[in-house]
Amino acid sequence: MTEQVPMVRSMRQILLWPVQLIPHGEDAQIQKPWEFLEAMADRTPWQRVTDEFASSSARFSERRYREFVSFLPFAQRFLYGEAKRAGVESGYGNSPIFVFSRNDVKGAQAIFPDVTDDVHFDVNYADLYFFFDLDVAMLVVEIAAKDLPLPVVLETLYRFGRTYPGHWEDNGRGGHCPVKVEWLDAGGNLLSASDYEQKERYLNFVRDQRAPRMAAHWEFLMKPLVQHYSDQIGDIRYREIEYQRMPLMNYLAFDDVSRLTRGDLVRIGLVTRPGDSDCLPYSEEFLRNFESQYCYNRYWDPAAGSGWGKILFLCNGQSFTVIGNSDTQFFTDKDTGIISQFSHQYFLLFLIAHFQKAALLMLSDRLVLAISRLDINDNASLKAFRLSIRSTLAIFLRFTHRYWFDAVSDQAVSRDLFAMILRQLGSADLYQKTRRRILDMTEYLEGEQLKLQADTVVRLTVVTVFGLIGSITTGLLGMNLIDAASNPPLLKLLYFALAFVPVAAITLYTVSRSRRLSRFLDSLANDRLAGREKLRDMFGVKTDK
């Protein structure tokens, strides 16, 4: 590398992988996968995270306080829950977020194409997020490195968070993926390695399961959660819910951001592969609105002499990146600087936005699954469909009131960035489409229910009309046809049976022919029909006419 290549003095990358959890049974509307993970605490590296709010320690950090107050009250309750008070029922209760962390993975070694040396990263944490009432989980991994040339950083942004190859190069290497990724423990020992190059395993899996196979190192990180379509045994099963490229956040502290060209900024903002800094990765026409669409430049003024003017946010929905100078305290201070907000407030903004999208995609998938199983000629299938749609509607309503926000903060930067992420993800449009689909299916069920009720009313009306003939006839006689009051009980029972059987048969026959009888009654009431046509309808009662 030449001295002209911009250097990244400090890099952090947070990868978020949303997955859909597979319910254990159709009878339970609310699944609790975190309980399975807690029950395996002695057999898995995942351990439940105890939040500072729930800790009995008197120490509460100012950093946590700043994070808390940056959100609006309803977002605070979602993220942190509500405290319990003696003698008072809590209105919201604990946070609906359940977080687990594993401490065995401490480092990562990566080999990238066209990069001579292996690249080492520290793994700051690997967390797993569950959300109450929704079959969605999110794996969150943060890696960090120092003193990397910009092309290596771009390779990391472009390739590291790939769950499986999109294709294979002529040399057998997985397309768009690193050549190799290894997870390391604290002593540098190998825990797991990627298998992007094993083409046949991926091809055979798709052929047999009609679903993509996850790379071995990501599969390792998720254990004891197992991929739904695999033959592995596990109580918590998941499947992919979005694109194979994970959403990612990046913090990049350069030695001098003023040396970055527009081509560099486009590659960072849109997360493209490295290239000549003096050339754009796409056409000028395509990028004419790049700055207005993907850049948030409240603190960006390269011509300014002060440090705050060298900080730029870039966001395209799937990626969120903030760049600045490594010698600017406002950017690098771990207590009050941008890096602190990046790891906490901005991370939560990104997490909420992608969780909302994943939840809506999960609900849409449930609708597709329910309609694909529907057989209108099978009563059991119709019943299961009604139960599934009603359950999905109930979950959607709870999602709307507990998790759906179009704003989570009134602080200017957080408010603007969250709105930017939502707009680029298209979450509001996805929400409305999901809502319409659920309501359409609900209206269909209501229409079917009204149709069934109308048929029942028709049958009851026909039975009542024809039963009225016998009732009025016997009523006009004004006497009992058979005086059986003084007869022995067995004879009374015989008379009852002789009367019950024909009456029941006539009633059942009337019900079975109720639709045809109703048409006959309509014909009788129609003054425009001739007598011959009415007789034809009468004889049609016992035929298939």
Q: Where are the domains of the chain?
A: 17-51+95-246, 249-343, 352-474
**Maximal C-alpha separation, the chain:** 120
Across residues 4-12, what is the average pLDDT?
93
Helix (H, G, I), strand (E, B) or coil at 420: helix
Average of per-residue pLDDT across 228-251:
89
- Which residue has better confidence, 119 or 62? 119
Q: What is the CA radius of gyration of the chain?
A: 34
Q: In this prediction, what percent of the chain has a pLDDT beyond 90?
A: 51
pLDDT for residue 476 is more than 50:
no
Q: Which residue has the higher pLDDT, 57 or 4?
A: 4
Q: Find the mean pLDDT for residues 149-175.
A: 94
Percent of the chain whose predicted confidence (pLDDT) is above 70: 79
Distance of alpha carbon 530 from the chain centroid: 63
- Measured CA angle at 123 (ends 36, 125), to 5 deg: 40
Angle, in degrees to the nearest 10, between helices 73-80 and 345-372: 80
Least confident segment among 50-54, 230-234, 414-418, 471-475:
471-475
User: Which two structure tokens, joined as six digits, stand for 65?
Assistant: 């306080």
Q: Cβ distance 153 to 11 under 8 Å?
A: yes
User: Which own/partner pairs from 103-106 qualify as long-range (CB within 8 Å, at least 24 positions apart)?
Assistant: 103/45, 103/47, 104/45, 104/185, 104/191, 105/183, 105/184, 105/185, 105/191, 105/221, 106/184, 106/185, 106/186
132: left (phi over 0), alpha (psi -120 to 50) or beta: beta
Higher pLDDT pick, 240 / 501: 240
Name which of 137, 160, 329 is nearest 248 in CA terms: 160
- Average the pLDDT over 442-458 and give the result: 71
Pick from 285, 346, 255: nearest CA to 66: 346
Of the listed ranges 119-123, 412-416, 514-518, the least confidently predicted one is 514-518
Please tell me the predicted confidence (pLDDT) of residue 218: 96
298 Cβ contact list (under 8 Å, min separation 6)? 313, 412, 413, 416
Query: Mind listing the pLDDT tens digit for each residue in 369-386?
Result: 888 888 877 778 878 888
What are the counts of helices (DSSP H) followed by strands (DSSP E) for the chain? 17, 14
CA distance 156 to 494: 91
Res. 394: pLDDT tops 80: yes
347 pLDDT higher than 90? yes
Confidence of residue 279 (pLDDT cuts 50, 70, 90): very high
Task: Give the pLDDT of residue 306.
Answer: 61
pLDDT at 388 over 90: no
- pLDDT, one tens digit per residue, over 168-201 is 999 999 999 999 999 999 999 999 999 999 999 9
* 3-state SS, residue 234: coil
Checking if the pLDDT of 27 tops 70, the result is no
Q: pTM for this one?
A: 0.83
What mean pLDDT is predicted for residues 482-510? 71
* Structure token digits, residue 355: 């969780």
Query: Mean pLDDT across the chain, nearest whole number?
Result: 84
> What DSSP element (H or E) covers 503?
helix 489-512
E strand or H helix that includes residue 190: strand 190-193
Predicted pLDDT at 123: 97
pLDDT score recorded for residue 4: 80
**Cα-based angle 47, 195, 174 (whole degrees, multiple of 5):** 125
Q: In this predicted structure, what is the pLDDT of residue 419?
A: 95
237-240/226-227 β-pairing: parallel
What pLDDT is stored for residue 314 in this prediction?
A: 96
pLDDT confidence of residue 340: 93
Distances (CA, A) of 231 to 206, 237, 472: 13, 11, 71
Q: Which of 375, 392, 373, 378 is nearest to 440 (CA)?
A: 392
Of the candidates 545, 501, 492, 483, the residue with the CA atom closest to the CA atom of residue 520: 545
pLDDT bracket for residue 1 (50, 70, 90): very low
Range in 369-373, 416-420, 454-458, 540-544 with the lowest mean pLDDT: 540-544
